[in-house]
Structure 1
Amino acid sequence: MSTPVDGAPPTLAVTGSTGWLGGLVAHDLSARGVRQRLLVRDLARAPRLAGSVAARCSYGDGEAARAALEGVEMLFMVSAAESADRLEGHLAFVDSAAAAGVRHVVYVSFFGAAPDATFTLARDHAATEEHLRASGLAWTFLRDNLYLEFVDQLVGQDGVIRGPADGGRAAVVSHEDVARVATAVLLDPAAHAGATYDLTGPEALTFAEMAQVVSEVTGRDVRFHDESLEEAYASRAVHGAPDWQVDAWVSTYTAVARGELDGVSGDVERLTGRRPVSLREHLAAQRRA
């Protein structure tokens, strides 16, 4: 890690700056004149931002993580890419943060995170939250709902969204709204210590309603097919993904069916001062772009 010419390395560290969420947050903070330390696995991919330095860091590499976090007070922790050992990496990284003297972690979790959540990966988030609570560090949890940017990507080549979601609802939220909340929290972290925020869009939709919105805005003929569990596993088996991944894909829908992603929160607007973007607004903006 290089040290800026104007003094010591920044005490705010941001993970995931080469991805969509960490990237949005890092760019927003830089535009506001906030100095930050970008923790990345590949230094060559780190964004070049005013007031930032890059440090090589991997969640599962305790020695490298502790070195990268030395002198950091505030840490923005984006959840790692989905993998069979993601939770182990999360827990190790929290331990590294505590050992390095980090004071406060803002962690990107998931709506309804709980040890018995239907969505399998939400259980990993619950375990990470619990580890942070026990770490002695101050913490803030940002629990985002399903991302509305993914809705039209769920549409198959035949124009069908498939999944065992029944008539359940999800309060899908945009990437940019989650990033705006994260920035607001990082600009005044003490005000949000110990808080858990549910980040949702302005409405909770069934997948049939999502399909209708996609149809109306894009002009495509899109519909939703409510699969049985057997159909869901069979239709995803063709991808050759490992069992844990298929379970995660299917349980996304069954969690919706059980009402675990339903419920609109006012946290996005309260923290950012802006009404969250709806699925219709997002798709319309894409069409205009």
Structure 2
Amino acid sequence: MRVVITGATGKVGGEVARLLAPVHAVDLRLVGRSLERAPQIEGAELVRAEFSDACREAFAGADAVLLVSAGEAADRLDQHRTAITALAESGAKHVVYTSFLGAGPEAEFTLARDHGATEQMLRESGVPWTVLRDSFYADVLLDFAGRDRVIRGPAGSGRCAFVSRRDVAEVAAHILRSPSAWAGRTLGLTGPVAVTLGEAALQMTRARGEEYEYVDETLEEARASRAPYGAPDWQVDAWISTYTAIASGALDVVTDDVAEVLGRAPRTLAEAVADPL
């Protein structure tokens, strides 16, 4: 079978490609912008393309496509629309899309609203689909902490079941090998337990042997601390809503979906940050 992986130069897409590389029955086509960063896999076809391109050729003949959501951008939804139109016109037989937990028009995390609209486009596309609604990635907490190892944001005492990127990649790779068994399913991918950011910082400290801290900010403090980046308002709002979504309780959700697909419990936050993608 031919499996097409978009975002193959990224963390999740690249790991999915590496997981599928040893499978002899899978013919890989890796799609991305900076192909020099794509995994070096013997026999894999490399296609340079972006969502903003007409990617019909990239999807042609695909038995399954991993559609990794586009990066943060003002035109992200337009990019997704272009890709889904190309999917439908190419005759691709199945698409697995990386969405976000609680995706929908009223989501507190503002970028999850784009995911909800994208899911609706998929449902209307005529292409069989599976949606992976990922919680926030545990690995990304390391990026949030930065060099000073301090996570800052208005999350209060809210909880989130952070999921390992490795688990998301393993779930995607498993489904791409036999997509018809998962057609029409929306899976919520979470870690095994929901934690506060203060608890997360403590687990990170223990897992990595260096001290991490969480500092709860007010909304005003959060906006002021991000002002030096010079980002547009929509992006600052998205960054801050990462934390307010946790504070709201919307992400205090633990599912069994990783275990259903993989037959084992999801990795803990400590395991994820000890061995991040």
Using structure 2 for the length normalisation, give the TM-score. 0.93
Superimposed CA distance per residue, residues 125-175 of structure 1 (whole angstroms, 9 cap, x where no aligned partner):
101000000111111000111111122332255553211111111100111
Cα distance in 2 for partners of 1:281, 1:29 equals: 22
1-side partners of 2:17 and 2:187: how far apart? 20
| Residue 61 (structure 1) aligns with | 53
Higher mean alpha-carbon deviation, 152-161 vs 171-180, is at 152-161
What is the correspondence of 1:120-135 to structure 2 with a 5 Å cutoff?
120-135=110-125
Tell me the residue number matched to 1:40. Answer: 32
String of CA shifts for 1:78-131, please: whole Å, max 9, x gaps: 011111111110011100111111121110101111111011100011010000
Q: Which amino acid aligns with 2:99?
A: S
Counterpart pick for 1:152 among 124, 129, 142: 142
Tell which has more relative contact order, 1 or 2 (C-alpha 8 A, sep 6+): 2
Partner Cα separation in structure 1 for residue 220 and residue 134 of structure 2: 28
Q: CA deviation at 1:219?
A: 4.3
**RMSD in angstroms over aligned alpha carbons?**
1.7
Q: Does 1:279 align with 2:269?
A: yes
Separation in 1, partners of 2:91, 2:178: 19
Q: 1:137 aligns with which of 87, 106, 127?
A: 127
Give unmatched runs, 5+ long, in structure 2: none
Q: Is contact 2:138-2:273 (8 Å) kept?
A: no
Question: C-alpha separation between the residues in 1 aligned to 2:107 and 2:14?
Answer: 29
Match of 2:214 among 224, 240, 251: 224
Question: Is the 8 Å Cα contact of residues 30 and 51 (structure 1) preserved in structure 2?
Answer: no
Paired residue type of 2:234? W
Query: Quick check: 45-54 or 244-253, which moved more?
Result: 45-54
Structure 2 CA distance, aligned partners of 1:13 and 1:156? 33
Q: Is the contact between residue 164 and residue 267 of structure 2 (CA under 8 Å) also seen in structure 1? A: yes
1:50 aligns to 2:42 (yes or no): yes
Residue of structure 1 in register with 2:85 after alignment: 95
The percentage of aligned residue pairs carrying the same residue is 49
**What is the TM-score with the length of structure 1 in the denominator?**
0.90
